[in-house]
Amino acid sequence: MQEKNRRQANITFTIQKLEENKAKYFTFAIPPNELILESGKKLGPIRIAYETYGKLNQEKTNAILIAHALSGDAHAAGINQQKGIEGWWNNLIGPGKGIDTNKFFVVCSNIIGGCQGSTGPSSINLYTGKEYSTDFPIITIGDMVNAQKALINHLKISKLLSVIGGSMGGMQVLQWMIAYPESIKSAIPIATTMKHTPQQIAFNEVGRQAIISDPNWNKGHYYGSRVPAKGLALARMIGHITYMSDDSMSKKFGRHFKTKKNNGIKFEPEFEVEGYLRYRGGSFVKRFDANSYLYITKAMDNFNIVNGKDIGHIFKGLRAKILVISFESDWLYPSQQSQEIVRACKLARVKTSYCEISSSYGHDAFLLETGEEGQIIGHFLNTLN
Amino acid sequence: MQEKNRRQANITFTIQKLEENKAKYFTFAIPPNELILESGKKLGPIRIAYETYGKLNQEKTNAILIAHALSGDAHAAGINQQKGIEGWWNNLIGPGKGIDTNKFFVVCSNIIGGCQGSTGPSSINLYTGKEYSTDFPIITIGDMVNAQKALINHLKISKLLSVIGGSMGGMQVLQWMIAYPESIKSAIPIATTMKHTPQQIAFNEVGRQAIISDPNWNKGHYYGSRVPAKGLALARMIGHITYMSDDSMSKKFGRHFKTKKNNGIKFEPEFEVEGYLRYRGGSFVKRFDANSYLYITKAMDNFNIVNGKDIGHIFKGLRAKILVISFESDWLYPSQQSQEIVRACKLARVKTSYCEISSSYGHDAFLLETGEEGQIIGHFLNTLN
């Protein structure tokens, strides 16, 4: 059985060439065929789903890596040809846009631990022929970045022009700055933090508890059976509240009642915000794996590049140029945490600029305020050469 | 069956005289034996559990009503003689304390809809002989206050010296100011709001969803069976995050790991804050009824004394003196909402003073910052006569 699966694994060891704007897959084919995780455990073979936009120049000096957030995927830009879905940062990435694909070669890969093409808990463990489920090892932001580095090596890019990401994507950016300082010419961490506060951990923990408390979770072994939809929807609802600001919620919903009456059923949604949260929670379940939610939020909570270090030593020796961006109404990753990154960079004599963008969208602003954000990023990228 | 229960109901129509500092019970014995709710529905007979501290003077001019918050009860002060439990505002109420029981007669009753002695969804519906469960009618903050007014009438107090409460207790205070302006000489709404914002509704809604999603909830019919403990614990965890500030969480937990190792079980609590949330969620389940949580949070979300009115008209004609208190780090009921109350009072020419107390405890501060809070309340009460 194991032998047979091993052979199947070898089949996927080829790199599938796909057309532009359609996910490509890279599988670690080089020995040792495995990624040694920060925990010391080994994971492999690993498949990484990625998309690219624009063209890599001959000198391979125009490559930008985009790192996605908790629920993101490799489909950052363009319109998915099969499903017609717009990339999650399509307003920012494209010809003539803030991250201009007429100039830059943009790569975005799904994180390991995820569920959108890259190896994660819902992937088949080739040694058992079954989904990993909770046998999937604990992964870290560092592991995600190491997998991205393998992809970048595979693409034969020795130095990225920039690595850019918001929220958990920003954590990956910070990790690149620490783990591969020589491999990046610049970096743009957006709406992120060097470590989670107890409050940030607490919100994630309640989300995890919601999933684990769902009887359908079944200790993680729900594949091929009923998924813990209610638990995952609840986790997403909690997330959504933290992604929006009180102000943006008020503008969007006010205290409006849903137009459809709830037929007198008690505790059905009455306010628009309630219906919205349930809808968003429910739709999330269709595209996201509950175990991935557990693993990824744990990776976020465990991320800590300060870790007792003197703040001036965190980025010591880094020669990349840094642009830090935060958003005024973001209370999940408040500007103060971005300013702490700026301080750490400046104390380490890293060339750093910072901008707080005025917005009422809360944490979601990094996905929505693409006008100013694009201008600021575009200007920064154009001044790199 | 109905006849028999009706007779049983009559048995409880007596007022139980109990010793000081032990809950007393008042049952609506006056015709029509029922409370007509704001919804138009009738509820009755109603039992109200209450405690009193200090002595009512002959003129009956020294009575203060304390209104409790979501998870509070009638046991506001002293040490419960049976269980040894300290009152939830014991630091504020007592001989020589901020609300001085050497001077004042203090009354605190459990809200209707609650589960700590007053009639709520877990009470026996005397017409069916079973728990109300979700047959319990939707109740409002106005209904809670109407029940309190019946209790005050029963105690033959025509005018309260003050009505004081924080959070949802503060909503009841605001309701007293509107519904019974002639029955109060003063009022102290603390850390509260005239209406919930969509964000405040959203946090409550996720808590309700957590309860409803628990299979043990069984559409509310879980009495005598397994209670929706996981759902209620989750709701409480979400609540706890909103009651604390990021700062108070950081001071209390930092990013410390639990000392007991989690035996390698994935997604068990690792950080202290995780363990604390689970513990608090779990202990809450032992003392609180999940259906009460649903009904009470709905009452909070539906509370709206602005309701399209010109802000200057809300408290028009009120002659009571008002003291509004808020806390600096409270992000659930931010100072801005208290200042809006002040503005509404001032525009209505109501004598109003306001104080924001410096604190890092978040919303919990109204229960914890009893030092300054007590001094400010004590000073205000002493200047009333």
Is residue A215 within 8 angstroms of chain B, CB to CB? yes
pLDDT over 60 (residue B19)? no
Lowest mean pLDDT across A298-302, B49-53, B338-342: B49-53
* Percent share of chain A, pLDDT over 90: 78
The reply to whether B290 and B356 lie within a common domain is no
The reply to whether B288 and B373 lie within a common domain is no
* Percent share of chain B, pLDDT over 90: 78
Lowest mean pLDDT across A97-111, B17-31, B127-141: B17-31
* Domain CATH code at residue A70: 3.40.50.1820
Is residue A306 within 8 angstroms of chain B, CB to CB? no
Query: How much is the mean pLDDT over chain A?
Result: 90
A68, A75, A196, A363: the active-site residue: A363
Distance of alpha carbon B75 from alpha carbon B280, whole angstroms: 20
Structural domains of chain B, count: 2
* B159: CB partners within 8 A, 6+ apart: B60, B61, B182, B183, B184, B185
pLDDT (0 to 100) of residue B145: 98
Three-state DSSP at B267 gives: coil
CA A157 to chain centre: 21
The highest-confidence range among A82-96, A185-199, B78-92, by mean pLDDT, is A185-199
Contact A234 B206 (CB under 8 A): yes
pLDDT over 80 (residue B22)? no
pLDDT (0 to 100) of residue A13: 30
CA B275 to chain centre: 26
Q: Tell which of A256, A286, A301 closes a domain.
A: A301
CA dihedral B207, B210, B213, B215 (to 10 degrees): -120
B293-B296-B298 Cα angle (round to 5): 105
Q: Count helices and strands (H / E) in chain B.
A: 11, 14
The reply to whether B354 and B252 lie within a common domain is no
Interface-testing mutation among A200, A255, A301, with chain B (most B C-beta atoms within 10 A): A255
| Bridge partner list, A107 | A52, A65
The reply to whether A86 and A191 lie within a common domain is yes
Contact B246 A197 (CB under 8 A): yes
The reply to whether B337 and B249 lie within a common domain is no
A135 catalytic residue (yes or no): no
pLDDT (0 to 100) of residue B372: 97
Distance of alpha carbon B229 from alpha carbon B235, whole angstroms: 10
Band (pLDDT 50/70/90 cuts) for residue B24 is confident
pLDDT (0 to 100) of residue A4: 38
Q: Which helix (H) or strand (E) holds B178?
A: helix B168-179
Q: Which residues of B331-344 are buried (b: 16+ CB within 10 A; e: fewer)?
A: bbbbbebbebbbbb
The reply to whether B366 and B236 lie within a common domain is no
Nearest CA in chain B to A237: B206
The mean per-residue pLDDT over the stretch A174-185 comes to 98
The reply to whether B319 and B296 lie within a common domain is no
Range of the domain at B378: 2-196+304-382
A100 catalytic residue (yes or no): no
The mean per-residue pLDDT over the stretch A46-57 comes to 93
Cis peptide before A45 (omega within 30 of 0): yes
Q: Tell which of A279, A301, A323 closes a domain.
A: A301
In one-letter notation, the amino acid at residue A92 is L
Query: Which chain A residues are Cβ-neighbours of B234 within 8 angstroms?
Result: 206, 209-210, 213, 234
Answer yes or no: are the C-beta atoms of B12 and B45 closer than 8 Å: yes
pLDDT tens, position by position, B293-312:
999 999 999 999 999 999 99
pLDDT (0 to 100) of residue B36: 92
Tokens of B216: 């043990």
Q: What is the DSSP string of A55-73?
A: ---TT---EEEEE--TT--
pLDDT (0 to 100) of residue A12: 34
Answer yes or no: are the C-beta atoms of A320 and A153 closer than 8 Å: no
Nearest CA in chain B to A251: B198
The mean per-residue pLDDT over the stretch A175-195 comes to 98
Cα first-last separation, chain B: 54
A241-A243-A249 Cα angle (round to 5): 60
* B210: CB partners within 8 A, 6+ apart: A210, A234, B231, B232, B234, B235, B238
pLDDT tens, position by position, B182-197:
999 999 999 999 999 9
Nearest CA in chain A to B210: A234
pLDDT (0 to 100) of residue B286: 93
Give residue for tokens 């005397």: B126
Band (pLDDT 50/70/90 cuts) for residue B127 is confident
Answer yes or no: are the C-beta atoms of A381 and A104 closer than 8 Å: yes
Distance of alpha carbon A216 from alpha carbon A226, whole angstroms: 6
List C-alpha distances in Å: B121 to A154, B273, B300: 63, 32, 16
Tokens of B20: 């000081």
The reply to whether A104 and A140 lie within a common domain is yes
Lowest mean pLDDT across A109-118, A207-216, B9-18, B182-191: B9-18
Nearest beta carbon to residue B201 from set A209, A252, A273: A273
Lowest mean pLDDT across A21-30, A174-183, A187-196: A21-30
The reply to whether A23 and A40 lie within a common domain is yes
CA dihedral A236, A242, A248, A250 (to 10 degrees): 80
Tokens of A84: 């017609």
pLDDT tens, position by position, B327-357:
999 999 999 999 999 999 999 999 999 999 9
Q: Tell which of A301, A328, A357 closes a domain.
A: A301
The reply to whether A89 and A15 lie within a common domain is yes
pLDDT over 70 (residue A5)? no
Nearest beta carbon to residue A267 from set B212, B273, B281: B212
The mean per-residue pLDDT over the stretch A344-352 comes to 98
B68, B75, B196, B363: the active-site residue: B363
The reply to whether A135 and A261 lie within a common domain is no
The mean per-residue pLDDT over the stretch A252-268 comes to 72
* Domain CATH code at residue B274: 1.10.1740.110
B11 or A113: which leads in pLDDT: A113
The mean per-residue pLDDT over the stretch B114-129 comes to 93
| CB atoms closer than 10 angstroms to residue A321 | 19
pLDDT over 90 (residue A208)? yes
Query: Which chain A residues are Cβ-neighbours of B237 within 8 angstroms?
Result: 202, 205-206, 209
pLDDT (0 to 100) of residue B5: 38
Give residue for tokens 């200047």: B383
The mean per-residue pLDDT over the stretch A57-80 comes to 95
A47 or B168: which leads in pLDDT: B168
Altogether, the residues listed in chain B come to a count of 385
pLDDT over 90 (residue B263)? no
Order of all β-strands in the sheet with A352-357: A24-27, A47-53, A105-109, A63-67, A162-166, A186-190, A321-327, A352-357
The reply to whether B150 and B281 lie within a common domain is no
List C-alpha distances in Å: B87 to B21, B26, B90, B173, B237: 10, 20, 5, 20, 22
Query: How much is the mean pLDDT over chain B?
Result: 90
Nearest CA in chain A to B296: A267
The mean per-residue pLDDT over the stretch B142-161 comes to 96
User: Phi and psi for B338 in degrees, rounded to 5?
Assistant: -70, -40
A4 or A217: which leads in pLDDT: A217
Contact A249 B202 (CB under 8 A): yes
Q: What is the DSSP string of B103-127?
A: T-EEEEEPPTT-SSSS--TTSEETT
User: What is the predicted ipTM?
Assistant: 0.89
Helical segments of chain A, H only: 2-11, 141-154, 168-179, 198-213, 229-243, 246-253, 272-287, 290-302, 335-347, 365-368, 370-382
pLDDT over 50 (residue A172)? yes
* pTM summary value: 0.91
Contact B304 A196 (CB under 8 A): no
